[in-house]
Structure 1
Amino acid sequence: MSRSSLDTDHSGLDALNARVRKDLELLCRPPANWVPPRHVKGQPVVDVVIIGGGMCGLVAAFALHSAGIRNVRIFDRNPTGYEGPWVNYARMETLRSPKQLTGPAYGIPSLTFRSWFTAQFGETEWDALDKIPRPMWMDYLRWYRAVLEIQVENDVNVDRILPEGDYLKLDLSGAGTNDAQVFARKVIMATGRDGTGHPNIPAFVDGLPKSAWAHSSEDIDFKALKGKRVAVVGVGASAVDNSAEALEAGAAEVRHLIRRKHMPTINKMMGIGSFGFTAAFPRLSDAWRWRFMHYSFLTQTPSPRGSTLRVSRHPNAYFHFGKGIDRIAHDGRELDIAMQDGSRLKTDFLILGTGFTVEPLARTELDGYADKILLWGDRYAAPAGLQHSELAKFPYLADDFAFQEREEGAAPWLSAIHCFNYGASVSLGKVSGDIPGISEGAAWLAREIAATLYREDVETHFAAMEAYDKPELLGDEWTEAPLPGEELDEPALKTGSDAR
């Protein structure tokens, strides 16, 4: 089902918008800002800067606003309406998540995807809907941003984050940039799947002409693959989605080269998802957290059934298991792929469905001190049989999603940078990117940031309490009386303004 096949009821959406506004009014959201303003070098300091205006950035902003933290700016490198992967490099037809999950609604029924969908297309179409079409999810997020009046500054790159006294200085660039630099107390990296790393590019493509291969996260000209032989490395969701795109564009053949001996079929994390898991995971021992994530990595999340069928329905699609790649040569015309088992394959184009790697050192925003970030490999020595080089590169985060120092005192400002993206999953669970737990993660993040901001300004808040002088009782609410047999030595309290 695509949005174009449905009749949109614009009056229904107008009514939903009014309902959202009423719900927010009833919940007293957002409250007034309570964070005292600060300035540095004659410039106002932003309380929280959010890097990324996609789903994570939007719900983080709404959570902060709902907590009375209003001095927030959001920067996104993409044009307006194109934040996140949904209409950029994501190529699945539908989302994997069940349609009824509440996602970034933050506990407000009128903000759910279901409310947005049924307001326009009705309950009958909702019942008929199987999975959420990917472009429709992006339309929902665009509406979410608009109805909540979340301001995102688009076409803005955050080039570097540097310590500047008590603050963080962010160097900005891009067509949408109004300030070359801004100062912030806290920074949230809501930067998505590659938020603390980069696309995973295997060494076997080193030296190959870039015209002969692409990573699944890149802008691929699928029309140019018509009549071509294509090899796809991997069988995860992104690999399968890109395979389907190539087949539908008319590729002569698409062959999946899969290192595993068998197709992953069970989403293990789906089987244990619960509020208990979300709440307990950060409180588990390092050994248990590592064990859960290691098993998830080992078993691998399978591609969705619909996505896999989208590929296999083509007679010129092939799945080859036990085909780890040893090396690849290019003779100027075609690729010659040598497998680890001795077999070979000649093809015209290679797509890497190899996902992303977590590697803080690769983030240019953290250039100059990324090596000072505490990693899981620094903190936890996995026992025999449970070692995993990728897991070891994940940052070992504090309870508020903040980076921690590898060496105490070497980079104390790291505690002001919060990793609200895929990089947080080993430390804190699936609450900073996946639809099921995103609202819980945002609430948790906002609460921790609010607590930190308040502690940092505690003297100011105490002084405000001392200076507060608005009476609730004016003095005319009572009359002082003596006990039996006693007389008052002083006249009764005066009323009105004199009572103060």
Structure 2
Amino acid sequence: MTRTDNTHSPEGLAALEARLKQDLEYLCLPATNWVPAHQHEGEKVHDVVVVGGGMCGLVAWFALWSGGIRNLRILDKNPAGLEGPWLNYARMETLRSPKQLTGPAYGQASLTFRAWFTAQFGQAEWEKLDKIPRPMWMEYLVWYRKALDVPIENEVEVTSITQEGPYLRLQLAGSGARERSILTRRYVMATGRDGTGHPNIPGFVDGLPQHLWAHSSDEIDFAGLKDKRVVVIGVGASAVDNSAEALEAGAKEVRHLIRRKEMPTINKMMGIGSFGFTCGYAQLPDEWRWRFMQYSFATQTPSPRGSTLRVSRHDNAYFHFGQGIERVWNEGDEVVIRTTAGKTVRTDFLILGTGFTVDPMARAELGEASGNVLLWRDRYTPPANEENRDLANFPYLAADFTFQEREAGKTPFLTQIHCFNFGAAASLGKVSGDIPGISEGASWLARAIAATLYRQDVETHWQGMLDYSKPELQGDEWRASELEDQEQAAPMVAASGGN
């Protein structure tokens, strides 16, 4: 949808924000702060620190805040308005998810994308809208932050996490950091698609000069690809989106080299999405959780129809199936690719649409403790026809999204870190990254953290119960009376007899 100045209606958003405020008041949100304050050697201890100010971080913060956990911090390494992937490396024209999904609204109708959209453009425009334009989704998230006054601290990065007594010491860096370090009781990694890993960089680009290739999550000078030959590895959503960007920038040709022999066409997860699956997946035995997720990985989620058509409408776009990569090298500024089918392809630039890998070892802030994160491969051995190396590398999480230790007692602080990102998918399902289930995931997370904080402070809460002395009755609501003794001799009853 094209946005012009006269389509904006600030009065519409102002009215929506007023309604949201009223809704929260009617629901008595946020709850009163009930968590006792903690200090460590005179230093304030935060109850929860959320890292990541994108969609996952916003709704996690809102769920915790709503529940009365108010001693919160939320940090993001990016500048304000650039949280998450939407204006960084995401390059699709529209979101895949249907427009009517409630996403991070957390049960508040006034917080939905639909409410935000119709407040500005009206119901008729809503009916015309097909998919949500990607930049518009980011506009909505920026408004979400404003409407709830979410206090994101931008340009702040956590560089290390260490144990300090019963707390976590977070070392901070970045131009927005107010302190060099802070203490917290719980730590939430709301860090998105690559939140427990890094971009998947295949080994075949080792030794290839950096100016000749990029990963789809990198900043790419697409204008510089005008009149150039481009090869894209893969055919998933990110591969297709980057291919389209190159074509629209005037690339001479774009060739997809695809290991699969056929184009994936069915999103299998769409066929089983339901409230039951969202709630029930995490409680399934390991073999069923593995089976569902491995099948989804093996069949692969296809790129959206609109994104694929965005590529194929160009006559100079090519899809080559059954062409895995055997070897890549350069001859000057030309990239030479040898495929597993024995074909040689020459190009000027290579884009890796190879997605992200889940690898807790890549989280530098965890330090050596990352090597003690319990993984699925440590707990489950799949049948011979269900192996999946990538899935085996997912963390094997507890029900509250926390990491578990491979060697118990070696790095206990891992159990204070909640993995509220894509890394939770194998253990808990798609409730911490994808739009459909994000509010349910945030609810689980907030309830679990609240339960833990309460349990840890149970003696304080018990003492509070003992000490509570505010009377509900003032003494003038009744008058005491003496009870009279009404005991009397039982009357004699004459017996009747016959003559």
Q: TM-score, normalised by structure 2?
A: 0.97
CA distance in 1, matches of 2:6, 2:365: 43
Identity %: 67
Match of 2:324 in 1: 324
User: In 2, Cα distance between the equivalents of 1:457 and 1:403?
Assistant: 22
2:427 and 2:408 map into 1 onto residues whose CA distance is: 19
Residues 322-361 of structure 1: pairs in structure 2 closer than 5 A: 322-361=322-361
Contact 1:397 1:403 in 2 (8 A): yes
1:470 maps to 470
**Paired letter, 2:139:** D
Question: Aligned residue for 2:490?
Answer: none
Q: State the distance in 2 between where 1:5 and 1:315 align.
A: 36
Q: Does 2:290 match 1:290?
A: yes
1:259 and 2:259 aligned: yes
RMSD: 1.1
Q: C-alpha distance in 1, partners of 2:422/2:441? A: 12
**Residue 79, structure 1, aligned to residue 79, structure 2:** yes
Question: Following the alignment from structure 1 to structure 2, what is the Cα–Cα distance between the partners of residues 357 and 329?
Answer: 24
Written as runs of structure 1 = structure 2, the 5 A alignment for 1:373-392 is 373-392=373-392
Matched residues in 1 for 2:25 and 2:223: separation?
50
Cα distance between partner residues in 1 of 2:95 and 2:6 = 18
Q: Are the counterparts in 1 of residues 231 and 350 from structure 2 also a CA contact under 8 Å?
A: yes
Counterpart of 2:286, as a letter, is D
Q: Which amino acid in structure 2 is aligned with residue 411 of structure 1?
A: T
- Size of the aligned set, in residue pairs, is 487
Shift of 1:20: 0.5
Which segment is superposed worse, 29-38 or 230-239? 29-38
CA distance in 1, matches of 2:420, 2:143: 22
Alpha-carbon distance between aligned partners in 1 of 2:228 and 2:6, rounded to the nearest angstrom: 35
Q: Is the 8 A contact 2:405 2:414 kept in 1?
A: yes
1:495 aligned residue: none
Q: Deviations over 1:84-137 (max 9, x none)?
A: 000000000000000000000001101000000000000000000000000000
Letter in 2 for 1:258: I
Answer with 1 or 2: which has the greater Rg: 2
CA distance in 2, matches of 1:40, 1:137: 41
Q: Deviations over 1:331-366 (max 9, x none)?
A: 112011000111110000000000000000011111
Distance 2:254 2:269 in 1: 30
TM-superposition CA deviations, 1:17-57 (whole Å, max 9, x none): 10000000001111221111111132100100001000000
Q: Is the 8 A contact 1:229 1:252 kept in 2?
A: yes
Aligned twin of 2:185 = 185
CA distance in 2, matches of 1:5, 1:121: 12
- Counterpart Cα distance in 2 of 1:79 and 1:43: 28
Aligned to 1:30: 30
Contact 2:33-2:68 at 8 Å conserved across structures: yes
Q: For 2:482 and 2:206, how far apart are their aligned partners in 1?
A: 95
Distance across 2 between alignment mates of 1:349 and 1:373: 37
In the aligned structure 1, how far is the partner of 2:333 from the partner of 2:236? 28
Partners of 1:3 and 1:83 lie apart in 2 by 22
Query: What residue in structure 1 maps to residue 21 of structure 2?
Result: 21
The answer to whether the 8 Å contact 2:212/2:333 transfers is no
How do 1:314-463 residues align onto structure 2 when only pairs under 5 Å count?
314-463=314-463
Distance 1:248 1:214 in 2: 18
Q: Distance between the aligned counterparts of 2:449 and 2:406, measured in 1? A: 22
- The answer for the alignment partner of 1:136 in structure 2 is 136
| One-letter amino acid matched to 2:224 | A
Find the counterpart in structure 2 of residue 153 from structure 1: 153
- 2:497 corresponds to: none
Q: Which amino acid aligns with 2:255?
A: R
Deviation, 1:3, is: 3.0
Q: Give 3-state SS (helix, strand or coil) of 1:45's partner.
A: strand
Does the 8 A contact of 2:159 with 2:172 survive in 1?
Answer: yes
Unmatched 5+ stretches in structure 2? 488-499
Matches for 1:98-247 after TM superposition, within 5 Å: 98-247=98-247
CA distance in 2 between counterparts of 1:430 and 1:249 reads 34
| Structure-2 separation of matches of 1:173 and 1:83 | 17
* C-alpha displacement of 1:398: 0.3
Amino acid at match of 1:396: Y
Secondary structure of 2:168's match?
strand
Once the two structures are TM-superposed, the CA of residue 4 in structure 1 deviates from its matched residue by 3.6
Could you tell me how far apart the structure 1 residues matched to 2:390 and 2:252 are? 35
Letter paired with 1:463:
Q
How many Å apart are 1:6 and its aligned residue? 6.8
| Structure 1 contact 269–296 (Cα < 8 Å) conserved | yes
Match in the other structure for 2:49: 49
- Offset at 1:486? 7.0
CA contact (8 A) 2:369 2:414 kept: no
Partner SS state of residue 385, structure 1: helix
Other-structure match for 2:494: none
- State the secondary structure of the residue aligned to 1:465: helix
CA–CA distance in 2 between the matches of 1:333 and 1:393?
36
How far apart in 2 are the matches of 1:270 and 1:138?
A: 24
Alignment match, 1:491? none
Equivalent residue for 1:40?
Answer: 40
In the alignment, the residues of structure 2 paired with residue 6 and residue 326 of structure 1 have an alpha-carbon distance, to the nearest angstrom, of 54
